[in-house]
Amino acid sequence: ASQLGEVHLLVAGAGCAAVADEAAKIAGVGKVHLADDASLGHALAENAAPLIVGLMDSHDAVLFPATSNGKNIAPRVAALLDVMQISDILSVEGADTFTRPIYAGNAIATVKTSDKKLVITVRGTAFAKADANGGSGTVEAVSGASDTGISKFVSAEIAKSERPELTSAKIIVSGGRALQNSENFHSIIEPLADKLGAGVGASRAAVDAGYVPNDYQVGQTGKIVAPEVYIAVGISGAIQHLAGMKDSKTIIAINKDEDAPIFQVADIGLVGDLFKIVPELTEKL
């Protein structure tokens, strides 16, 4: 956002004043708009979108992370503003020009918009983190939030894990279809991840087969990650999976098929039986 001009943040939720105060300390933030209303408590897109549209009178662009939440709200904002959304940007080339991946990241498109108001989702792994301290933004309350009555929050099942969250983990151990079943996944992948203090990921094939829940999924239709180290165990490396992890700093692949596509992107490749290799590796760490 700072590459486009002065940055204002929107903190929307219920009882979120403390978050706004923290957000004001982020380096580069000029102003924090605080929308504190019960209708925003569960980030329902139908309630958040009209609020954001109201703020667009005095702003040129609104940026969201390309997460499930961002992808939920941004298209509604774009539709209400009658503009084209610019999705999953990798870089800012100018005030109206951006790059974004197409064909599962095999080509990078440069897009230029003629819209006066920009609605953008951002691939977080493509940009450096902002410093959480050093800013001196001001907090300004905004009104106008209300319950549109279109949707309501019913319940949430939150997966709790002692391991790092995938999108922020420095090390990720991912398992694929070759693990054969859920028991093998847990008994082979998780001890290695625990030894390394790593997050646990999975390929779509492993998720579809029911080995692990879908919030483990890394790839084009899962989470986009870029850890320091990515260990792919029994993952062949379909193009959609590579799209989610090929920006990792070091990629280690373990697979019995020496022709598996994963080896084309791997920095370190080990050909062999994962059922022997991985427990041995875990034991030696």
Which two three-digit tokens encode residue 60? 């040129």
Shared-domain flag, residues 109 and 171: no
Does residue 201 belong to any structural domain of this protein?
yes
pLDDT reported for residue 207: 97
> With 90 as the cut, is the pLDDT of residue 161 above it?
no
Q: Are 256 and 235 in contact (CB under 8 A)?
A: no
Shared-domain flag, residues 122 and 171: no
What domain range is 262 assigned to? Answer: 166-284
> With 80 as the cut, is the pLDDT of residue 158 above it?
no
pLDDT reported for residue 5: 95
The region, left, alpha or beta by phi > 0 then psi within -120 to 50, assigned to residue 244 is: alpha
Shared-domain flag, residues 14 and 133: yes
Q: What is the mean pLDDT of residues 108-119?
A: 97
Domain end call among 141, 156, 184: 141
> With 90 as the cut, is the pLDDT of residue 144 above it?
no
Residue pointed to by tokens 């940055």: 7
Does residue 220 belong to any structural domain of this protein?
yes
Does residue 154 belong to any structural domain of this protein?
no
> With 80 as the cut, is the pLDDT of residue 10 above it?
yes
Shared-domain flag, residues 37 and 127: yes
Does residue 161 belong to any structural domain of this protein?
no
Shared-domain flag, residues 11 and 137: yes
> With 80 as the cut, is the pLDDT of residue 80 above it?
yes
pLDDT reported for residue 105: 87
- The chain-wide mean pLDDT, for the chain, equals 95
Domain end call among 90, 124, 141: 141
Does residue 146 belong to any structural domain of this protein?
no
Shared-domain flag, residues 104 and 195: no
pLDDT digits (tens, 9 = 90+) for 179-235: 999 999 999 999 999 999 999 999 999 999 999 999 999 999 899 999 999 999 999
pLDDT reported for residue 160: 76
User: What's the order of all strands across the beta sheet hosting 61-65?
Assistant: 61-65, 118-122, 85-89
CATH at residue 211: 3.40.50.1220
Shared-domain flag, residues 178 and 106: no
Does residue 150 belong to any structural domain of this protein?
no
Shared-domain flag, residues 105 and 23: yes
pLDDT reported for residue 110: 98
Q: Considering the chain, what percentage of its residues have pLDDT values greater than 70?
A: 100
Q: Are 172 and 201 in contact (CB under 8 A)?
A: yes
Q: How many domains does the chain have?
A: 2
- The pTM of this model reads 0.84
Shared-domain flag, residues 180 and 244: yes
pLDDT reported for residue 77: 98
Q: Which amino acid is at 223?
A: K
pLDDT digits (tens, 9 = 90+) for 86-104: 999 999 999 999 999 999 8
3-state secondary structure of 92: strand
Give the pLDDT band (50/70/90) at residue 279: very high
Does residue 85 belong to any structural domain of this protein?
yes
pLDDT reported for residue 104: 85
Contacts of 105 (CB under 8 A, 6+ apart): 220, 242, 243, 246
Q: Considering the chain, what percentage of its residues have pLDDT values greater than 90?
A: 91
Shared-domain flag, residues 195 and 118: no
Shared-domain flag, residues 134 and 20: yes
Q: Which of 60, 38, 64, 29 is nearest to 49 (CA)?
A: 64
Distances in Å between the Cα of 156 and the Cα atoms of 66, 153, 159 are 21, 8, 10
> With 90 as the cut, is the pLDDT of residue 255 above it?
yes
CATH at residue 25: 3.40.50.620
Give the pLDDT band (50/70/90) at residue 155: very high
> With 80 as the cut, is the pLDDT of residue 159 above it?
no
183/176 Cα distance (integer angstroms): 13
Domain end call among 141, 158, 180: 141
pLDDT reported for residue 146: 92
Shared-domain flag, residues 179 and 128: no
Does residue 100 belong to any structural domain of this protein?
yes
